[in-house]
Structure 1
Amino acid sequence: MTDVEILEMTNKVLAEEFELSLDQMKPEASFREDLELDSLDAVDMVVVLEQTFKIKIKKDEAFKNIRTLGDLHAFILEKKQEMAG
């Protein structure tokens, strides 16, 4: 899976899970302010992303610092590189 495919898949699964439009899925979109997602949604996000990409997120401290969709994209790409390497 290419980086672009990973980003597109991330946007798609989050849009479906949280009933968002793909138009809202911009890298600068803040989860709290722009997408109106809260800490409970973050738990659901972890589950969906772990299932989609077969990665472990739960205990990763870096996940706690994610504030925007772009932050999440970078995090997922890094996790996929770690698993590939």
Structure 2
Amino acid sequence: MNIEEIKEKANLIFVDEFEVEQESLVSDAVLKDALELDSLDYVDLVVAIESCFSIKLVAEDFKGVETLQNFYDLLEEKIND
């Protein structure tokens, strides 16, 4: 799966499941600021992402993930591993 397909699917989850405004989903946006999710929402996000992409994410995976692009890159790495 290429990075554009990953972005499209992830953004669809952000918009549909968490009511994030599409306009705020730019690659250099800070993940916490763009998504405006609380800690419980992050658990739901991880579950939705894992289900959608058939991957497993652990807390250590998120070290260094600050922007949406970092998050997309993490997904690409996990998916294509």
Same fold (TM over 0.5): yes
SS in 2 for 1:33: helix
Structure 1 outlier segments of 4+, above 6 Å: none
Gapped runs of 5+ residues in structure 1?
none
Root-mean-square deviation (CA), in Å?
A: 1.6
Q: String of CA shifts for 1:31-73, please: whole Å, max 9, x gaps.
A: 322331222221111000001000011x351224422211110
Using the size of structure 2 for normalisation, the TM-score is 0.84
The higher-RCO structure (CA 8 Å, 6+ apart) is 2
CA distance in 2: counterparts of 1:34 and 1:56, whole angstroms? 23
1:66 aligned to 2:60? no
Structure 2 spans left out of the alignment, 5+ residues: none
Q: TM-score, normalised by structure 1?
A: 0.81
Percent of residue pairs bearing the same amino acid type: 38
